[in-house]
Structure 1
């Protein structure tokens, strides 16, 4: 089975995450971008970095993409998340604004 095609900027974002590239991860977000991690919101790069240091890049997370759905400027990715913080099938909903991520929402997949 072929890997799902992931549009930009989400494809580069996932590569940055899987490569544990903190700078590319942060640069993927708009300056006022938001992460909604199961109802906990982190807005702006400083808050996102603080969250990520513990729960995302800092926990050596990787995402194996299983499904991709594209609806206008919203890209939904479902995959197997593995890290030193949390593991399991997760849904990542990306709201894209141009070449940046306006919001990433994480929920149970």
Structure 2
């Protein structure tokens, strides 16, 4: 995977998650945005917050980006994930419209 520049909303979401800044993470998403965590969908800021508190930022997630590519409105970011939850490589596919993330799908 190449390491292309990320769209601003994607970079903002990843930086906020890595910093443990839940409000900033949520602000990167559209009001009706969603997280798809291996087929489990969490739509809207409150649902995303609940998921993140239990499984992402609440687990002190740390993300070291290892690659990035954009095709159309989808940016796929590969990262080495650390923290107190899942640890290992993962891919995150972000769909962006305008200045917000509409979908963050954990794909691998």
Question: Which residue in the other structure is 2:77 paired with?
Answer: 77
Question: Which residue in the other structure is 1:32 paired with?
Answer: 32
Q: Which runs of 5+ in 1 are unaligned?
A: none
**Which secondary structure does the structure 1 equivalent of 2:85 belong to?**
coil
Residues 11-90 of structure 1: pairs in structure 2 closer than 5 A? 11-90=11-90
Contact 1:4 1:66 in 2 (8 A): no
Q: Offset of 1:78 from its aligned partner?
A: 0.5
Contact 2:91 2:106 in 1 (8 A): yes
* Deviation by residue 1:52-86 (Cα, 9 ceiling, x = unmatched): 00111111001100010111211000110112111
Number of matched residues? Answer: 106
List structure 1 segments (4+ residues) > 3 angstroms apart after TM superposition: none
* Deviation by residue 1:10-52 (Cα, 9 ceiling, x = unmatched): 1111111111101000111101101000111100111110110
Distance in 1 between the 2:69 and 2:4 partners? 9
Q: Offset of 1:6 from its aligned partner?
A: 2.0
Distance in 1 between the 2:18 and 2:67 partners? 17
More helix by share: 2
Distance in 2 between the 1:89 and 1:14 partners? 15
Q: Offset of 1:4 from its aligned partner?
A: 5.0
> What is the TM-score when the length of structure 2 is the normalising length?
0.93
Question: Which residue in the other structure is 1:97 paired with?
Answer: 97
